[in-house]
Amino acid sequence: MENQKRRSETAPDASAKANDDDEWVSTDDAIEGALGLDDDPSKLNSDNWFEPTAPLMEASTYHSETTQLQQDTEEVVIESYNEHPSMEFLYERHVQYVSLCLTRPMPSAYTMLDANHSWMVYWLVNSFHVIKHRDSELSKELAPDDDVIANATEAWINDDGKGGIGGGVGQIGHMASTYAGVLSLVLTRRFDILERIRTGLYEWVMSLKNPNGSFKMHHNGEADTRSTYCALVVATLLNIVTDEFLVGVEAWLDQCQTFEGGFAGVPGTEAHGGYTYCALASYFLLHKEPTFKGLDVPNLTRWLVSRQFQLEGGLSGRTNKLVDACYSFWVGAAIPLIEIATKTEQLFNRYALKSYLLRVAQNSRGGFKDKPGKSVDFYHTNYSLMGLSMCEYLTKLKTDDANELMAFRFHHEPLADDVHTEATNPVFGLPEVFVSDCRGHFQQLDGH
């Protein structure tokens, strides 16, 4: 089926809806035909079925590379839905994929990621722990070796934390690498290492603080909502946040919200799903209640829910951009936070996103990919699994400890009896149990 022909068939103009009900009723015929629904209408009544439908908006008559890519993506996504009607979660293959990637030598193509050792370890180890393990024998056999992970991470620490954590041996401290390294040590529960380096890390992080309240990624490096979020996560997990640390942070974040409603990396630029997540999660690291004076919550809510595609079911990271599985977390985790802020449940279609992840992004050999035609990788595997967790649980705010930051007060209600993931903290990007253990350890150590 030609792209343009299908587009015209599935997105009629408004006058067709008003003047010819029969024509409007049949507007999804092309999609149903492509999916084989006309041959097997029972699929529509299955619990394991997401029905792609034509976008509500009228198709644009302006054609560009962007519109063509969108049409092409819709085509391959429809084909993928047709080829994968099952919502089966490939547990064994995902566990095996993670284990192999952690233990085998990497192909030569991975040399370009030499500065990302700490990230790759976090992505893979976290993926293993986000998966809900029912097969105890397989999980024991293929579980990551905590000592190996901790020893590798320890080798990337510069000067007991005073130089931050690098992306590999001998590399300079970088805020993102430090974030990933700290999360990896939390996942191994090596709090002894974190105790030893946290004073040095505080000095290093504060040396990267700008007068406007933001934090740089590294000395002479860029400062954006990403680096500021990473600094907040590191300091909060290690219980080293001070009044000096917080000066100007929220005021600077407020400036990064755009006219669209989402957040940019720096004031005055384009709203982006990743930056929006970093900014919104930062407010939950700053506040004990969802009252944000400088945040336009209604506009942010509108922008976030607009990121879900009606046909694909997945999420995009920017206006007029394609669906991408990684935004299942970057945007998919931001939406539960805005649900808490607005005291509203189910602001996005969790089942549609879950359908995209399991029927389109899931790789038959294990791991997850961005979209059909892309390769499976560590990054998309981790954020797809956490995005799946956002679909499988309803996250609410506990009310029993009003003196605690919101980031530590989440309660997760499973939305089905059979879930494939552990409840995941939407602010820290870790299974909730690890966040709780880390918080408890350092609060007890510090006596509060």
pLDDT confidence of residue 107: 82
Residue 274 lies in a domain: yes
Rg (CA), the chain: 23
Residue 45 lies in a domain: no
Residue 44 lies in a domain: no
Residue where the block lists tokens 């699994």:
385
Residues 6+ apart with CB under 8 A from 18: none
Residue 439 lies in a domain: yes
pLDDT confidence of residue 88: 95
Strands 424-425 and 430-431: antiparallel
Listed residue (256, 391, 419, 412) closest to 328, CA to CA: 391
Which residues form the catalytic set?
Answer: 272, 318, 321, 324, 326-327, 370, 377, 380
User: pLDDT tens digits for the chain (448 residues)?
Assistant: 334 333 333 333 333 333 333 333 333 444 444 444 444 544 444 444 577 776 655 566 778 888 899 989 999 999 999 999 999 999 999 999 999 999 999 888 888 999 999 999 999 999 999 999 987 799 999 999 999 999 999 999 999 999 999 999 999 999 999 999 999 999 999 999 999 999 999 999 999 999 999 999 999 999 999 999 999 999 999 999 999 999 999 999 999 999 999 999 999 999 999 999 999 999 999 999 999 999 999 999 999 999 999 899 999 999 999 999 999 999 999 999 999 999 999 999 999 999 999 999 999 999 999 999 999 999 999 999 999 999 999 999 999 888 999 999 999 999 999 999 999 999 999 999 999 999 999 999 998 7
196's tokens: 């030893």
Residue 2 lies in a domain: no
> For residues 292 and 284, what is the distance between their CA atoms, to the nearest angstrom?
10
Beta strands in 332-403, from DSSP E residues, in sequence order: 393-397
**Looking at this protein, which amino acid is placed at residue 10?**
T
Q: In which domain, by residue range, is 369 found?
A: 93-446
Partnered with residue 157 across adjacent β-strands are 165
pLDDT confidence of residue 62: 76
Percent of the chain as helix, strand, coil, to the nearest 5: 55, 5, 40
Could you say which DSSP state residue 18 is in? H
pLDDT confidence of residue 49: 57
pLDDT confidence of residue 400: 87
* CATH number of the CATH domain containing 238: 1.50.10.20
12-to-21, 22, 29, 50, 187 alpha-carbon distances in Å: 12, 12, 12, 22, 51
Neighbours of 264 (CB within 10 A): 20
Q: Say if CB 80 and CB 359 are below 8 A apart.
A: yes
Three-class DSSP category at 49: coil
Angle at 54 between CA 50 and CA 56, to 5 degrees: 115
pLDDT confidence of residue 401: 87
pLDDT confidence of residue 221: 97
Write b or e for each residue in 45-79: b if 16 or more Cβ atoms lie within 10 A of its Cβ, otherwise e: eeeebbbbebbeeebeeeeeeebeebbebbbebbe
Angle at 121 between CA 120 and CA 122, to 5 degrees: 90
Residue 85 lies in a domain: no
Residue 388 C-beta-side C-alpha neighbours within 13 Å: 29
pLDDT confidence of residue 51: 72
Residue 60 lies in a domain: no
How many domains are there within the chain?
Answer: 1
Contacts of range 58-64, beta carbons closer than 8 Å, 24 or more positions apart: 58/11, 58/13, 58/14, 59/7, 59/8, 59/11
